[in-house]
Structure 1
Amino acid sequence: MELRQLIYFTAIAQAGTITAAAQKLHMSQPPLSLQLQKLEDELGCPLFERDTRHLHLTPAGELFYERAQAILQQCADLKREMADLQAGGRGLLRIGVVSSLSTSLLPRWVARFHEQYPQVRLELTERDSFRLLELVRSQRIDLALVRRPFSGQGLNIHPICSEPMCAVGRHHFFDGAEGSISPMALANLPLLLYRRWEPMLMRFFAESGFEPQVLCCSEDSHTVLRLAREGLGVACTPLSATCELQPGTEIHPLQAKELYSEICAVTLQGHYTGAAARNFIRFTQEEQ
């Protein structure tokens, strides 16, 4: 059995026909059919059921496809690992980041990382958490910087730091309060919520026995902060997301251990994580 036969077999399984697989592999149909026949002869069982139009995996073919995919992935990971060894501190690092980190912690992390690893090129993608996790799963980015909670199925989660949720708004909403405040102080204030944090906040408020006055919900964390800056209401957001606020806007951490944000780096489980990604994750963890 040869590695190229696994490549041919998976291409046929994905394409559904010999003709389509041959086009994908940039080869003619007869040699591809011959290699498939040799593979089935060697294994002693058919891998496909044939009808007039398509090929369908047999039970043996489904098992073989799963194993072949794993072997090919290991080969691809091995090539990346060898390239990493040759490149040392060089290469391309593809990072996905949520908006609440892109203008706060990320610039500092990237600048200091670049000081230590100047030969690493960076490609940054800003999306919401759920889209970033899909990009990790499809291997279109090397790692994502996101906030919990999220479904971690099939992912490696690397905790970086935790920070409190804060109330953010113009000074007249807080009656001269200084430092951290009780969430109960928000009971009669117009709240501006980022949709990502709405379930956690509403659950906490319900358990605390009051119904908040939600004036606005937004899909963008920057939007709720801009509205708070304009005096429309009080935004609830993680501490690091408040870095761009202007004078006259106050920030008060909320006194509740349940109201916090955990920042994590996420990589794909079961796949090789390159040296640049590993170094970046370690660097961010050591920065805290």
Structure 2
Amino acid sequence: MDLDRLQTFLKVVQYGSFQQVAAREYRSQRTVSKQMTQLENELKVTLFDRGQNRIQLTPQGRLFWASAQDIVNNYTTALTELRQFNVPTDQILRVGYFSAFEQRLLLPALYDLKQQHSELQLVVRQGSNEHLAQQVADGSLDLALSINYGRPAVTPESQLTAVPIYHNQMVIGVSRLNPLSRLSQLPPSALATLPILYYSPESSTFLLESFLASAPFIQDYEQIRRVSSAEQMHLLVALNQALAFYPAGLVPTKHDEQVAYLPITDAAQQGYDIVALLKSNRSRPLIAKLVQRLKANAKSDE
């Protein structure tokens, strides 16, 4: 797929006009329109409803929009990484994580490692558990943080090793505007009152299946919804528009004036583990040092 067409498509969506994109890119309107027609022909769908004064995305166009953004962002990131490093591969460490919550474990460990090895170059990526595991398996990442919650991060048949880093309990965030926030524990029946959110930067069935496996008392699967940013999730919870899963220990829970973090009464199934995914045959000293630092920092937080 032609990258220039995708970038033009994203600009057309942004400005809502072939003419505006043509003027900004110093191209003819005909050239921009032709590119979009070629893209539609390649995909065999109609991306735009073309009006006299403004174009709009079709339902298929809205679905493709997110994918186009991912493709362009991934290409740009890969290009930046390729141009950024001109050092031996043993001085590059490529690490992945799946949510902003793991930063509490990851940042101190990487900072310590960088202090010890000033020449070290770091590649840090965020992605879904599925993508991170695949990137570790194919060697494009050296290590990735994942989660065991209701189901293991990797299957027994996987070529990856899951090294336990941190253990704690999943809790539910409840707005202090909600009378439920005054409880010491949240009964499962209370979870039916609002949508329940979880955060994942990419569309991921892994986390959804994990939450369903750990919360069998939730009968309406449509009640659990993904949001693409931790900030959006927290905003909706604070305003009493939703409840949400939070990993205790990786989010500051004691002094939050808008949200209370409550354990579920059925706490037996709510334990989670943050694990480091790596290839079994990977024995680079830097990877071993990073695992040691992650464990040490996790232990100091307990």
TM-score by length of 1: 0.58
Which residue of the partner structure matches residue 112 of structure 2? 112
Q: Deviations over 1:2-29 (max 9, x none)?
A: xxxxxxxxxxxxxxxxxxxxxxxxxxxx
Identical counterparts, % of pairs: 18
Which residue of the partner structure matches residue 237 of structure 1? 246
CA distance 1:145–1:279, change in 2 (3 Å) = same
Q: Deviations over 1:145-189 (max 9, x none)?
A: 111233240012211011211111311324352554444442434
Bigger shift: 146-155 or 211-220?
A: 211-220
Preserved CA contact (<8 Å) 1:188 1:212: no
The whole-number CA distance in structure 1 between the counterparts of 2:238 and 2:250 is: 13
CA distance 1:95–1:201, change in 2 (3 Å) = closer
Which residue of the partner structure matches residue 161 of structure 2? 156
Preserved CA contact (<8 Å) 1:105 1:240: no
1:158 aligns to what SS in structure 2?
A: strand
CA distance 1:263–1:204, change in 2 (3 Å) = closer
The whole-number CA distance in structure 2 between the counterparts of 1:236 and 1:157 is: 23
Preserved CA contact (<8 Å) 1:224 1:235: yes
CA distance 1:260–1:190, change in 2 (3 Å) = same
Which residue of the partner structure matches residue 264 of structure 1? 275
- Stretches of structure 2 that go unaligned for 5 or more consecutive residues are 1-87, 200-204
Are 1:202 and 2:207 an aligned pair?
A: no
Are 1:253 and 2:233 an aligned pair?
A: no
The whole-number CA distance in structure 2 between the counterparts of 1:267 and 1:138 is: 11
Which residue of the partner structure matches residue 274 of structure 1? 284
Q: Deviations over 1:214-257 (max 9, x none)?
A: 54511636243342233311111322453499631222233412
CA distance 1:141–1:105, change in 2 (3 Å) = same
1:257 aligns to what SS in structure 2?
A: helix
TM-score by length of 2: 0.56
The whole-number CA distance in structure 2 between the counterparts of 1:170 and 1:276 is: 42
Aligned ranges 1:57-206 → 2 under 5 Å: 91-148=91-148, 149-152=152-155, 153-177=158-182, 179-194=184-199, 196-206=206-216
Are 1:225 and 2:225 an aligned pair?
A: no
The whole-number CA distance in structure 1 between the counterparts of 2:115 and 2:264 is: 35
Output the aligned Cα RMSD: 3.1
CA distance 1:196–1:165, change in 2 (3 Å) = farther
Q: Deviations over 1:19-44 (max 9, x none)?
A: xxxxxxxxxxxxxxxxxxxxxxxxxx
Preserved CA contact (<8 Å) 2:174 2:261: yes
The whole-number CA distance in structure 1 between the counterparts of 2:123 and 2:234 is: 26
Preserved CA contact (<8 Å) 1:99 1:126: yes
Preserved CA contact (<8 Å) 1:267 1:273: no
- Which amino acid in 2 is paired with 1:150? A
The whole-number CA distance in structure 2 between the counterparts of 1:127 and 1:227 is: 22
Q: Which has the larger radius of gyration?
A: 1
CA distance 1:157–1:190, change in 2 (3 Å) = closer
The whole-number CA distance in structure 1 between the counterparts of 2:229 and 2:252 is: 12
The whole-number CA distance in structure 2 between the counterparts of 1:173 and 1:241 is: 23
The whole-number CA distance in structure 2 between the counterparts of 1:102 and 1:129 is: 13
Preserved CA contact (<8 Å) 2:175 2:181: no
Bigger shift: 144-153 or 218-227?
A: 218-227
- Which amino acid in 1 is paired with 2:292? R
